[in-house]
Amino acid sequence: MASQSMEIVAKALEQQVLQSARIVEEQLDAKLDKLERLDEDDLERLKERRLEALKKAQKQKQEWISKGHGEYREIPSEKDFFAEVKESKNVVCHFYRDSTFRCRILDKHLAIVAKKHLEAKFIKLNVEKAPFLTERLSIKVLPTLALVKDGKTKDFVVGFTDLGNTDEFPTEVLEWRLGCSDIINYSGNLLGPPAIGQKQGSKFTKVEKKTIRGKGYDSDSESDED
C-alpha cells in the first residue's frame, strides 16, 4: 500500500515538472515569435528610441560639465558653497587646510573620482575661509567631506575612518563610500568595501546610509587629523 502511494506521489511530481517545462517552453516560443514578427518599422522605432536615449545622455553630460562637474576644483569662499550646491543635485565638498597632510592625500583621490563620476560635483573649501560653515556643520576633524544632496547635507566622511583607517586606501574604496550615501552612481557591491589594493591591517567601520536632520546644510561632524 505504501509503495502504491509513493508511486502516485512520484507520478504527480513528474506531471508538475512536465507542466512547468511546458509553460517555460511556451513562454520562450512566444518571445521568439514576437522577435520574428518585428518588421522594418519596428526595428526603425527601436533604433530611434536608442538614438534618442543617447542624445539625452549626451545632453545631460554637457549640462553637468557646464555646471562644473567632471573636474575637482577649489571654490574661493563659503558664499560660493551655497551657490554650488544649489545648482547641482549631488555635491561632494572637501573641507581642508593646507597644513593637514591627509587633506593632500584625499585631493589626489577626489581628482580621479571627479573625472569618472560626472553625476556629482566635486569641490574643495579651505576651512580658514569658511568660519561660518565650519561651525554650522560642526566640522572638527580634517579632512572632512560633506556630502550634499538636493541642497541638504546628507552625510559626512570624517578623516579616513570609513576608508580603512589607512593613508594608503585605494580610490575604489572612496568610490564605494560615496556610493553608500548615494552621491555617485556606484556599480559595485555596497554591502562591503572592494578588496582591490587593500593592505593588511586595514580596518573598516560599518557604514550605514544616514539621513541627517532635514535642515539644509545642517549635520554633525577644529581638530586636525594627522
Identify the three-state secondary structure at position 129. Answer: helix
Amino acid at 36: E
Residues ≥6 apart with Cβ < 8 Å to 152: 212, 214, 215, 216, 217, 218
- Distance of alpha carbon 77 from alpha carbon 162, whole angstroms: 27
Amino acid at 142: L
Burial class of 224 by CB neighbour count within 10 A (0 to 12, 13 to 18, 19+): middle
Per-residue pLDDT of the chain (226 residues; tens, 9 = 90+): 556 666 766 677 777 777 777 888 888 877 766 766 666 667 778 888 888 889 999 999 999 999 999 999 999 999 999 999 999 999 999 999 999 999 999 999 999 999 999 999 999 999 999 999 999 999 999 999 999 999 999 999 999 999 999 999 999 999 999 999 999 999 999 999 998 554 545 666 655 544 333 334 433 334 555 5
Cell of 200: 593588511
* pTM for the model: 0.72
Delimit the domains of the chain by residue range. Answer: 1-37, 68-224
Residues ≥6 apart with Cβ < 8 Å to 98: 126
Buried b (16+ CB within 10 A) or exposed e, 184-208: bebeeeeeebeeeebeeebebeebe
CATH code for the part of the protein at 68-224 = 3.40.30.10
